[in-house]
């Protein structure tokens, strides 16, 4: 197994994202996540730049790397053209590849994202689909979305969209061949391997937490429920 | 001495193709504002006489998956390469991107390919093995707002309405919100760069409105990708939106204008959610501050029926703004289906009942 420092360095985005950080902290000053969480992108960049295996291992198992909201405001402000947001992408990649992500509450949520956004991607060919923005899980969407959701065939038709139908247009049904190409691209380019890693490590974590069925197999419905109700540690 | 309201933004122009486009749709815009994409295509082809291909075979760019880290960079590159291959097969060289996340993503991939040609070779190989397709890099990539910006004066000449309060004759006060990935990653790919919101303020000015500055103008809407998409994390998202609303409220805007599909939705929905939580709105009424995207606004000014372009899909009701602008509309036609049959309306519109 490669050292994590090497695994990070293997990703070209690390070369794009890190150019001799001078530790000024402007990234932290402008960062929306730093205002919301106990989060400091400056110290993450410094840790990665140090090449210290132990410090980087700690990051990979921490909630910290999952706090970034990917707005990339840090990229604009950095006087050295570093991009802490993209360094975060590389850390998250290695965290998922090594299984370190299941050691933190926010990291474990990757399972939820894979099962929602990931499933939408290959099922519909879109990251988001109206039928997936259900009222129960999206109360913030309000009564107008509730009306749209409940009457979506009529509403989208009125607006000239092509919901779930063949041919061009908004929210059209992506043809089977096109969906198949997307799936083969996933297989060919490492998407499937990543999802298998998320799935396997999440199942192992479910077993570790005792979230199993009568045969001792991981029960992923229980695990999902656990993730949705897991309290942050203060 | 300049006042806070004065807008002295310098124009930073970039090359924007003038015709023969290939449209790359947005997952979020299609989902929440399908009428906006429809009216954009209609303005381009019917009002401006330009050509644009609406190809049914393109898919998501997977940008939301990429920024939530469930789509590897190699996969992201290969999916984008497939979009380029479809363009090539249609003979198109000018991409027009509806989504801001995609727009940033396309440029991230292209810049990577310039700096690391081996990444491009890998994407070519992955695409070829997976689909048998080949691609060329587009000659020009514009966001759809760039196109409306480019033709803003032509739109103004064609428009029967202006961004003016017809009761007072005063310009409407418009705050803008530019999506983060339009300019923050690659400022040189954006009209106005990362600091200036010129792409929207130039439209506001051309259409008779008054751009209004506010302190948190460049703050994120709060989407935060995983922070909105995972239900227990949404307080991050709403907190950031709240910061923006608190910042713009003292300037009493008539309208929020956006260029990003996600921002358009969040700035609309989070006003409702905050009102339900805190019992307050950021406008002088219970409705909230109306939110429009550039295509929706261009469509309104050009005289499109507000309900044909989907403004009834907004939680903050647009009717007060339509009245202020003197736009003719039928309140009774708002909740009718394609056959003209009345539908049961939403429980309520706006932020507070």
Whole-structure pTM value: 0.96
> Going by C-beta distance under 8 Å and a sequence separation of 6 or more, which residues neighbour residue B329?
B305, B306, B307, B319, B322
Element holding B85 (H helix, E strand): helix B73-89
- Smallest Cα–Cα separation from B305: which of B37, B35, B45? B35
> Measured between CB atoms, does B334 come within 8 Å of chain A?
no
SS3 B22: strand
SS3 B29: helix
Average pLDDT over every residue of B78-105: 98
Tell me how far apart the alpha carbons of residues B295 and A186 are, in angstroms, rounded to a whole number.
Answer: 33
* Contact list, B194 vs chain A (CB under 8 Å): 76
How near does any CA of chain B get to the CA of A54, in Å? Answer: 23
Question: Predicted confidence band at B300 (pLDDT cuts at 50, 70, 90)?
Answer: very high
pLDDT of residue A2: 81
**Cα→Cα distances B279→B159, B222, B228, B352, Å:** 38, 21, 22, 8
Tell me how far apart the alpha carbons of residues A175 and B89 are, in angstroms, rounded to a whole number.
Answer: 17
Q: Answer whether residue B1 shows pLDDT above 50.
A: no
The answer to whether the complex's ipTM is over 0.85 is: yes
Tell me how far apart the alpha carbons of residues A76 and A30 are, in angstroms, rounded to a whole number.
Answer: 10
Tell me how far apart the alpha carbons of residues B26 and A12 are, in angstroms, rounded to a whole number.
Answer: 27
pLDDT of residue B43: 98
How near does any CA of chain A get to the CA of B72, in Å? Answer: 6
- The chain-wide mean pLDDT, for chain B, equals 96
Beta carbons within 10 angstroms of residue A16's beta carbon: 19
pLDDT of residue A232: 80
pLDDT in tens, B236-292: 999 999 999 999 999 999 999 999 999 999 999 999 999 999 999 999 999 999 999
Please tell me the least confidently modeled range out of A72-76, A175-179, B192-196, B349-353: B192-196
Tell me how far apart the alpha carbons of residues B200 and B21 are, in angstroms, rounded to a whole number.
Answer: 21
Q: Answer whether residue A208 shows pLDDT above 90.
A: yes
Helices of type H across chain A: 4-9, 12-17, 26-30, 32-36, 41-50, 53-60, 73-77, 84-98, 105-108, 110-113, 119-124, 142-150, 152-158, 176-189, 191-208, 220-229
> Measured between CB atoms, does B227 come within 8 Å of chain A?
yes
Q: Answer whether residue A210 shows pLDDT above 80.
A: yes
Interface contact flag, B59 A190, Cβ < 8 Å: no
* Contact list, B70 vs chain A (CB under 8 Å): 110, 113-114, 117-118, 194-195, 198
Interface contact flag, B272 A140, Cβ < 8 Å: yes
Element holding B211 (H helix, E strand): strand B210-211
Domains in chain B (CATH in brackets) are 18-144 (1.20.1050.140), 152-325 (3.40.50.11810)
* Closest alpha carbon within chain B to A173: B56
pLDDT in tens, A139-163: 999 999 999 999 999 999 999 999 9
Q: Answer whether residue A198 shows pLDDT above 90.
A: yes
Fill in the DSSP letter of residue B218: T
Average pLDDT over every residue of B51-64: 98
> Measured between CB atoms, does B45 come within 8 Å of chain A?
no
Exposed / middle / buried, residue B22 (Cβ in 10 Å: 0-12, 13-18, 19+):
buried
Question: Predicted confidence band at A234 (pLDDT cuts at 50, 70, 90)?
Answer: low
Beta bridge partners of B291: B256
Q: How many residues does chain B have?
A: 353
User: Please, what's the largest Cα pairwise distance for chain A?
Assistant: 58
In percent, how much of chain B has pLDDT > 90? 96
Tell me how far apart the alpha carbons of residues B181 and A83 are, in angstroms, rounded to a whole number.
Answer: 13
- Count of pairs with CB atoms under 8 A, one residue in A, one in B: 256
pLDDT of residue A36: 96
> Going by C-beta distance under 8 Å and a sequence separation of 6 or more, which residues neighbour residue A143?
B315, B346, B347, B348, B349
> Measured between CB atoms, does B273 come within 8 Å of chain A?
yes
């Amino acid at each position: 197994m490669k050292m994590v420092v090497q695994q990070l360095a293997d990703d070209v985005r690390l070369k794009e994202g890190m150019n001799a950080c001078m530790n000024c902290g402007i990234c932290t000053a402008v960062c929306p996540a730093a205002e919301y969480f106990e989060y400091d992108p400056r110290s993450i960049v410094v840790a990665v730049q140090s090449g210290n295996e132990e410090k980087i291992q700690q990051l990979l198992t921490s909630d910290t790397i999952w706090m970034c909201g990917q707005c990339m405001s840090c990229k604009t402000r950095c006087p050295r053209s570093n991009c802490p947001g993209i360094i975060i992408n590389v850390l998250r990649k290695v965290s998922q590849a090594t299984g370190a992500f299941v050691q933190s509450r926010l990291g474990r949520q990757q399972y939820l994202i894979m099962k929602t956004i990931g499933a939408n991607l290959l099922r519909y060919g879109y990251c988001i689909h109206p039928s997936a923005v259900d009222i129960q899980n999206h109360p913030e969407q309000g009564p107008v979305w509730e009306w749209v959701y409940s009457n979506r065939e009529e509403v989208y038709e009125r607006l000239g969209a092509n919901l779930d139908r063949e041919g061009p247009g908004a929210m059209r049904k992506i043809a089977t061949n096109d969906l198949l190409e997307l799936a083969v691209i996933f297989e060919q380019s490492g998407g499937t391997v990543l999802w298998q890693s998320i799935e396997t490590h999440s199942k192992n974590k479910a077993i570790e937490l005792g979230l199993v069925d009568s045969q001792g197999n991981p029960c992923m419905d229980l695990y999902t429920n656990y993730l949705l109700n897991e309290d942050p540690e203060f | 001495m300049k006042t806070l309201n004065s807008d002295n933004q310098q124009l930073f122009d970039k090359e924007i193709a003038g015709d023969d486009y290939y449209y790359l749709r947005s997952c979020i815009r299609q989902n929440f504002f399908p009428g906006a994409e429809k009216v954009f295509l209609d303005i381009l082809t019917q009002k401006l006489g330009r050509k644009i291909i609406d190809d049914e075979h393109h898919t998501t760019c997977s940008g939301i998956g990429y920024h939530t880290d469930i789509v590897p960079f190699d996969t992201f590159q290969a999916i984008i390469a497939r979009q380029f291959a479809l363009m090539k097969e249609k003979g198109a060289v000018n991409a027009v991107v509806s989504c801001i996340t995609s727009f940033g993503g396309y440029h991230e991939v292209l810049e990577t390919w310039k700096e690391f040609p081996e990444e491009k070779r890998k994407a070519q190989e992955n695409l070829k093995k997976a689909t048998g397709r080949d691609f060329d890099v587009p000659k020009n990539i514009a966001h759809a707002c760039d196109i409306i910006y480019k033709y803003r004066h032509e739109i103004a000449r064609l428009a029967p309405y202006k961004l003016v309060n017809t009761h007072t004759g005063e310009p409407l006060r418009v705050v803008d919100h530019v999506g983060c990935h339009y300019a923050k990653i690659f400022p040189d790919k954006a009209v106005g760069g990362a600091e200036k919101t010129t792409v929207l303020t130039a439209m506001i000015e051309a259409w008779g409105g008054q751009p209004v500055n506010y302190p948190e103008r460049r703050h994120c809407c709060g989407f935060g990708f995983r922070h909105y998409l995972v239900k227990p994390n949404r307080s991050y998202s709403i907190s950031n939106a709240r910061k923006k609303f608190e910042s713009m409220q003292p300037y009493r805007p008539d309208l929020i204008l956006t260029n990003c599909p996600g921002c358009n939705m969040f700035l609309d929905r989070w006003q409702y959610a905050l009102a339900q939580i805190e019992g307050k709105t950021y406008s002088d009424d219970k409705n909230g501050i109306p939110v429009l995207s550039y295509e929706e606004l261009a469509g309104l000014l050009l005289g499109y029926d507000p309900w044909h372009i989907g403004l009834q899909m907004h939680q903050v009701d647009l009717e007060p703004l339509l009245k202020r602008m003197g736009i003719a509309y039928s309140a009774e036609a708002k909740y009718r289906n394609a056959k003209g049959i009345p539908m049961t309306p939403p429980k309520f519109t706006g932020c507070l009942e």
